[in-house]
Amino acid sequence: MLPTVHLPAHRRSFHAPNTSALAAAARRLRLVRAAGLLALATCAALARAQTSTPAASVDGPSFLPMVLALVLVLGLLAAALWVLRRAGLAPRGGSSQLRLITQLALGPRERVVIVEAGERWWLLGVGASGVTRLGSLPKGEVATGAMPTASFGAVLEKLRGGQR
């Protein structure tokens, strides 16, 4: 018979990890590994193609350089798209019913956003602890372009204190 183990109250609860975050991390790891293997195979094939002797070559065109260049270009396109999405510059596939109107950063991890959902605009607070609804507005009540934007030169002059 096995002995009974008694755990303290704070050790009895079990918090399951966020499975969607774990799955996303596993997918990213597999993609990085696959990209590394593809790059390694491409480099090895290019090295082999450069060191081949003319006596071993076959008469006629070789499609290997063309295929390797195509794979390289497609890989670079996929990497560029991934970087643009991570930076927030490329649109993600999403619902046409939900749209980000504007956002204002309040700190390194906190911001206030206005999101359009149907015929309403929702004012949301986003922080490390989660998302909080601050209020709602009828659609189009706030002018998004009300703040004047300064040019880079004007901001630089302001930071310099007007000195040349």
Domain-wise residue ranges, the chain = 19-53+62-87, 98-138
Strand partners, 130: 127
Mean of pLDDT values over 69-91: 86
Q: What's the pLDDT tens digit per position in 93-140? A: 665 678 888 888 888 889 999 988 888 888 999 999 999 998 888 877
Q: Identify which has the larger pLDDT, 75 or 92.
A: 75
Residue ranges in the chain assigned as alpha helix (H): 9-12, 19-51, 64-87, 152-160
Task: For residue 40, give the nearest of 66, 68, 79 by alpha carbon.
Answer: 68
38: Cβ contacts below 8 Å, ≥ 6 apart? 71, 75
- 162 — alpha (psi -120 to 50), left (phi > 0) or beta? left
Query: With contact defined as beta carbons under 8 Å apart, do 35 and 72 qualify?
Result: no
DSSP state of 34: H
Mean of pLDDT values over 142-163: 65
| Residue 79 pLDDT > 90 | yes
**Quick one: CA torsion of 144, 150, 151, 153, rounded to 10 degrees?**
-160
Of these ranges, 36-50, 86-100, 150-164, the one predicted with the greatest mean pLDDT is 36-50
